[in-house]
Amino acid sequence: MGDKILMKGNEAVAEAAIRAGCRHYYAYPITPQSELIEYMARQMPLAGGTFLQAESEVAAINMVLGAAACGMRVMTSSSSPGISLKQEGISYIAACRLPAVIVNVQRGGPGLGNIAPMQADYFQATRGGGHGDYYTPVLSPSSVQEFADMAPLAFEIAEEYRTPVVIFADGMLGQMMEPVVFPDSYAPQKDPSAWALGCKREGEFCNHIINSLFIDPAVLDQKTRELFAEYDRIRQNEIRYERYNLDEQPSILVVSTGTAARVVKSAVDALAEEGIKVGLLRPITLWPFPYQAVAEAARGVKKVLTVELNMGQMEQDVRLALAGSCETAFVGKAGGLVFTPEELTEIIRGYAS
């Protein structure tokens, strides 16, 4: 382990990606993720990698498609409106079965919204995002350290299942500074030479083709089923979540992720001091969603609250998890407003009494 240093989430995830062997990065500036592209602009050439500021998010994601097709560890980043523009390319990358990492440092929406932190892109991120029948694994950090650790993790998942992976952060996680430590070593990249373009191959020449066009409906059906078989494997192996204050039977279960979950933790701690037992289940993978873990954590509680920085999106997954077995309520804020711990403590206390 190296020294503990102080970094913004945007910087830390960029540094972690480079340390994890990412040598290709294409992006377009947008607040509040610009420190990420600026960090890459400064550091990627020093690491001997490729940095390019693309002419648009659309171009950036297609440059990622090119690098991913060559089997490179490649990353891009943006914030909500830019991620919308990237969806075309993400759909192609998913369909072509290519590994790539996409960081979304979300801002307020819809439209141009504002630069404040929101979790309003949950539906987009967890339901594929672009056109077609596909998903992408979605990792949701809630600290700078976790944000940084997700860069190598995202590459490993991307390569294991040959899929684009989304890191679902927000402006707060991107902008705030926290101490961060980087591990000394990272998992090596999986050998892509069996499918990647431009690989020198021994023996008889056979060209590699990367394609997502399957005119015959039966073939497309088959290809989609192959994709979904891989999704089953991801569901089996990659579901991640954190249980907080759940060891003793709580009266209220809160499900919350990312920045919102940080405030929830403060409220849970404050309520614990008052003798009110509230547990938090924090999904770390938003797709695949920890349905079973939520259902288990909800056993015996009076109510399940979903706390989000939006008008109620993850709430739908929570209700799917509970399948009507428990009463639920939604607590959210839009506009980029963030709950204060005091405010949230009061709200949760209201449900507990």
Binding site for another protein (CB under 8 A): 3-8, 11, 15, 24, 26, 31-32, 50, 52, 54-56, 58-60, 62-72, 74, 88-89, 92, 96, 114-117, 171-172, 175-179, 197-198, 205, 207-213, 259, 262-263, 265-266, 270, 336, 338-343
The distance of closest approach from Cβ of residue 266 to another protein in the complex, given in angstroms and rounded to an integer, is: 5
The distance of closest approach from Cβ of residue 203 to another protein in the complex, given in angstroms and rounded to an integer, is: 12
Q: Taking Cα atoms as reference points, which of 218, 245, 231 lies closest to residue 134?
A: 231
70 vs 295 by CB, closer to another protein: 70
Q: Which residues contact 222 (CB under 8 A, 6 or more apart)?
A: none
14 vs 234 by CB, closer to another protein: 14
In angstroms, rounded to a whole number, what is the distance separating the alpha carbons of residues 143 and 196? Answer: 34
In angstroms, rounded to a whole number, what is the distance separating the alpha carbons of residues 138 and 169? Answer: 10
The distance of closest approach from Cβ of residue 36 to another protein in the complex, given in angstroms and rounded to an integer, is: 13
Q: Which residues contact 201 (CB under 8 A, 6 or more apart)?
A: 193
Give the 3-state secondary structure of residue 124: helix
The distance of closest approach from Cβ of residue 331 to another protein in the complex, given in angstroms and rounded to an integer, is: 15
131 vs 299 by CB, closer to another protein: 131
Task: Give the distance between the most distant pair of CA atoms in the chain.
Answer: 74
Find out whether 62 and 24 touch, Cβ atoms under 8 Å: no
- Strand ranges across the sheet with 278-283: 241-244, 278-283, 252-256, 303-308, 328-332
The distance of closest approach from Cβ of residue 197 to another protein in the complex, given in angstroms and rounded to an integer, is: 4
208 vs 349 by CB, closer to another protein: 208
39 vs 289 by CB, closer to another protein: 39
56 vs 237 by CB, closer to another protein: 56
The distance of closest approach from Cβ of residue 235 to another protein in the complex, given in angstroms and rounded to an integer, is: 28
The distance of closest approach from Cβ of residue 68 to another protein in the complex, given in angstroms and rounded to an integer, is: 8
In angstroms, rounded to a whole number, what is the distance separating the alpha carbons of residues 77 and 14? Answer: 9
Exposed/middle/buried for residue 300 (C-beta within 10 Å: 0-12, 13-18, 19+): exposed
| Backbone φ and ψ of 51, nearest 5° | -120, 135
197 vs 334 by CB, closer to another protein: 197
